[in-house]
A = this chain, B = another copy of it.
Amino acid sequence: MAALDVFLREQIAAFEPEIRAMADYCIDTSGKRIRPALVFLSGWRGHGTPGSDLIKVAAIVELVHLATLVHDDIMDGAALRRNRRTATREFGATAAVLLGDALFSHALVLAAQYPTTEVCYMVSESMRRVCAGEIVQTMRRGSMDITREDYWRIIELKTAELFRVSCHLGARLAGSDAAYVADAARFGRHLGIAYQIYDDLADFFGDERRIGKTLGTDLASGKVTLPLQVLLEQLPAGERTALTEEICGRRPVQMGMRLRQMGECAVFPAVAATVRDEIAAAAAALAKWPEEPPTPLLLELCGVLHAQLAGLEPATAGPRA
């Protein structure tokens, strides 16, 4: 990870002088670096440190991710991200649109430095799918006809896609055989789904300081995620109608009450079970490959997510509102 940070720092110089400080601001986020970690772990050959090929791909997936965050924050009108001002607030929405574009472009400049076009192809196709997922999510904001299948499709595109590609490229560049690359990619896809559902759960049950945003932000912005779908199914008809009106923006959101109802309706255990199912599916994708060096490391990530999920579990009946 230190090598990745050095490499990312070095990339600043590649940007046009006028926008270096801004690119620096965006890259200098103390993010979780999950996608680079997936690259490194999937590409682990059992010895040594990651080679320059892996570091570069780790930087590429992180830059793509950072670009989508910059654009996300514009749309959400978010003021803070990881407890610092978003690019939108710092430079204005207009510059933030372009800055996201520049980050993404530079990711592709790096992708074009491999001997074949494979990295370019996978990264740009993946990016298009991520965008498609976010577009669907955006167009459905405040709309109540989102089925579980729709929710699944959205998170598969917007989150699981880049997790999948990170694992695929890590294993591929390390020279793993095609069958392992495919299974590592399946692992990444399921882990991405699990992670996004966990993240959606944290929006209602997390610790505000730790997740760096206000609880219930998704609900307030009309985003119908799994915890909300479960709550809607559990509520009596009258309450369901009221909540529907809140989601559609026709009446103010009763956040305190909704968070309390989430506790009463056992939303947490229901959604957490889904997260665990996806983690299990991720682990199952690697079941055939216990001997491959990345396998134990990737399974450890499953353990980390399990622990994070457990840390979210409300001590009392209700969420930490």
Contacts and interface: CB of A to CB of B under 8 A. Distances in A.
Nearest to A92: B138
Contacts of A135: 18-19, 22, 95, 98-99, 102
A241 to B, nearest CB: 27
A124 to B, nearest CB: 3
A134 B107 CA distance: 19
B105 A128 contact: yes
A97 B137 CA distance: 13
Nearest to A68: B101
B95 A139 contact: yes
Contacts of A131: 19, 98-99, 101-102, 105
A194 B18 CA distance: 23
Nearest to A20: B132
Given A104-B104, A114-B117, A124 B136 contact: no
A44 to B, nearest CB: 26
A16 interface: yes
Contact of A138 (B95, B104, B105, B153): B95
A98 B111 CA distance: 21
Given A114-B117, A132-B15, A124 B106 contact: yes
Contact of A120 (B112, B132, B139): B112
A271 interface: no
Interface residues on A, range: 35 or more
A121 interface: yes
A190 interface: no
Contacts of A138: 92, 94-95, 98
Contacts of A165: none
Chain B CB within 10 Å, residue with most, of A106, A107, A109: A109
A131 B106 CA distance: 11
Interface of A: 15-16, 18-19, 22, 67-68, 71, 74-75, 91-95, 97-102, 104-109, 111-118, 120-121, 123-125, 127-129, 131-136, 138-139, 153, 157
24 contacts: A16-B129, A16-B133, A19-B136, A22-B135, A71-B98, A71-B101, A91-B139, A92-B138, A97-B100, A98-B131, A98-B135, A101-B131, A102-B128, A102-B135, A105-B125, A105-B131, A106-B124, A106-B128, A108-B120, A108-B124, A109-B125, A112-B117, A114-B117, A116-B117
